[in-house]
Structure 1
Amino acid sequence: MTGAERREAITAEIMERTGITEAMIEELVHGFYARVRRDTVLAPVFEARITDWEPHLKQMCAFWSSVALMTGRYHGTPMVKHAPLPVDAGHFDRWLELFEAAARELCPPKAEAHFVERARRIAASLELGIAGGQGLMLAPGERFRRNETGAVQ
């Protein structure tokens, strides 16, 4: 079995087990980012960096296809893109809150659980990476916080 055939088999098994489809991913991504764009905590972070939302949404659909279905559609470096952002634990908590709400509303339970598990891992990984980029090694359970001026506490 080739690598491509193996990837296709893995994707098919995940789709069968969870019910996730590319159409569901697109609906979730668009529904989630509609919430983000209205959110008082997250919208300013995104608005400062994204002027054309269509390419971003397309890229996020490819990202979630790769994360949820193991399709390999996404070819990017999320940590590099997120490292300079002025975010901390509160932003990741809000991101998860909105993502989980969108998944709960738009996906059947097995798909929701699959997406949410991965979203939680992604948020934790990005938070650890951003903290590390600031020279901080977080202890288990410790969160990355900035003060009101954006400086690391």
Structure 2
Amino acid sequence: MTTDFLSLDESGLAQLVDAFYEKVRADAMLGPVFNQAVDDWPEHKRLLTSFWASITLEARSYRGNPMAKHRGLPIRAEHFDQWLALWRETTDALFAPEHAQLLQGHAERIGRSLRYGVGIEPETRGLGLPVIGGAS
């Protein structure tokens, strides 16, 4: 177990995003979805570092619409579960426990919001939102 944890700053977040998305790209479930959706990985990682810096450090540097980017992708609830499992694994390995927990809490809330927004939570079915990969 390492005691050389990353700092919770923009440099640390960039290293996290890089390590995490290398795992995502190689993952049997997530890789096909992400690799088809992302054309420019270096730029995507820069954008995601900006996103996490805005969420975690209140940097206010991110300009984008994650909900719109995820709508229409072939994603299901198990994709979110796998994404979150890899996020937990990566943050636990790279950050001190209190920082890993903070990042995991943000990811859980963001994931929950995206699941509702793209209509894959059972509770959204009565709201007229599309259900991807399931019966309506």
Paired residue for 1:111, among 99, 115, 133?
A: 99
SS of aligned partner of 2:28: coil
Deviations 1:7-29 (A, max 9, x none): xxxxxxxxxxxx51111101110
Q: Normalized against structure 1, the TM-score is what? A: 0.76
Q: How does 1:49-128 map to 2 (within 5 A)?
A: 49-128=37-116
Residue 130 of structure 1 aligns to which amino acid in structure 2?
V
Deviation at 1:97, TM superposition (A): 0.4
Amino-acid identity (%): 35
Q: Which runs of 5+ in 2 are unaligned?
A: 1-6
In the alignment, structure 1 segments of 5+ residues that lack a partner are 1-18
Question: In the aligned structure 2, how far is the partner of 1:104 from the partner of 1:111?
Answer: 9
Map of 2:124 onto structure 1: 137
Instruction: Tell me the amino acid that sits aligned with residue 87 of structure 2.
Output: F
**1:51 deviation in Å?**
2.4
The number of residue pairs the alignment matches comes to 125
Deviation beyond 6 Å, 4+ runs, structure 1: none
Asked if the contact 1:89/1:145 (under 8 Å) is kept, the reply is no
Aligned to 2:33: 45
- In structure 2, C-alpha distance between the alignment counterparts of 1:129 and 1:145, rounded to whole Å: 10
Change (3 A) 1:145 1:101: farther
Conserved 8 A contact 1:128-1:138: no
Q: Report the AA paired with residue 51 of structure 1.
A: D
User: Take 2:89 and 2:100, find their aligned partners in 1: how far apart are those partners?
Assistant: 10
